């Protein structure tokens, strides 16, 4: 009895090994392209989580390669178009930023021009005052002393000090 049980277990084990080798070999030959067993093993491969590769529409079609090439080219063109649109948006943002900086610089330039104009006016006033004081000093120098004193009394103290 023990011999018969050993024989049955060895027989089942060898049959299982043969089955595994047949399945593995047929899948390997399918991978190499020698056999086509994808459809036969498709339910089992789906259970394992492997997806069956896509079947070609018509393998004998002459334009199949051309269609595939055109599809890839269209996909590349779509990617290029999206990249160009993104670049255009980026350029518009940069242009708006540059425009804002230009406006800010123009405002600063106008403020500096106004400040320069104000400083020039003050300088002219100072030069005019200096020239007037010099001329007044010459007049007072040539006047009789009493007349110069009378006029100086009418003037502001700071102007008298400057003369």
What confidence tens digit (pLDDT) does each residue in 29-56 have? 888 888 888 878 777 777 777 665 555 5
DSSP summary character for residue 49: T
> b/e map of 60-82 (b: 16 or more CB within 10 Å)?
eeeeeeeeeeeeeeeeeeeeeee
**Could you report how far apart the first and last alpha carbons of the chain are, in Å?**
145
Distance between CA 63 and CA 46 in Å, rounded? Answer: 32
> Which tokens hold the place of 78?
């779509």
Cα gap 20→25, rounded to integer Å: 8
What is the distance of C-alpha 108 from the center of its chain?
Answer: 29
Identify whether the C-beta of residue 152 lies closer than 8 Å to the C-beta of residue 140.
yes
pLDDT 10s digits, 96-151 = 999 999 999 999 999 999 999 999 999 998 888 888 878 877 887 888 888 878 87
> What pLDDT sits at residue 150?
82
- Beta strand segments in the chain, E: none
pLDDT at 74 over 80: yes
CA angle 40–43–45, rounded 5-degree value: 95
60 against 109, higher pLDDT: 109
Whether residue 86 has pLDDT greater than 70: yes
């Amino acid at each position: 009895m023990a011999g018969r049980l050993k024989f049955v277990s060895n027989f089942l084990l060898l049959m299982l090994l043969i089955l595994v080798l047949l399945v593995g070999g047929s899948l390997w030959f399918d991978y190499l392209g020698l056999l086509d067993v994808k459809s036969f093993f498709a339910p089992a491969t789906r259970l394992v989580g492997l997806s069956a590769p896509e079947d070609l529409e018509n393998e004998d079609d002459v334009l199949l390669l051309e269609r595939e090439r055109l599809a890839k080219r269209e996909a590349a063109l779509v990617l290029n178009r999206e990249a160009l649109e993104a670049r255009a948006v980026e350029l518009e943002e940069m242009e708006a930023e540059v425009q804002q900086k230009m406006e800010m610089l123009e405002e600063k330039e106008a403020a500096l021009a106004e400040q320069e104009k104000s400083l020039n006016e003050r300088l002219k006033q100072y030069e005019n005052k200096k020239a007037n004081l010099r001329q007044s000093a010459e007049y007072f120098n040539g006047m009789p002393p009493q007349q110069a004193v009378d006029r100086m009394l009418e003037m502001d103290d700071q102007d008298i000090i400057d003369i």
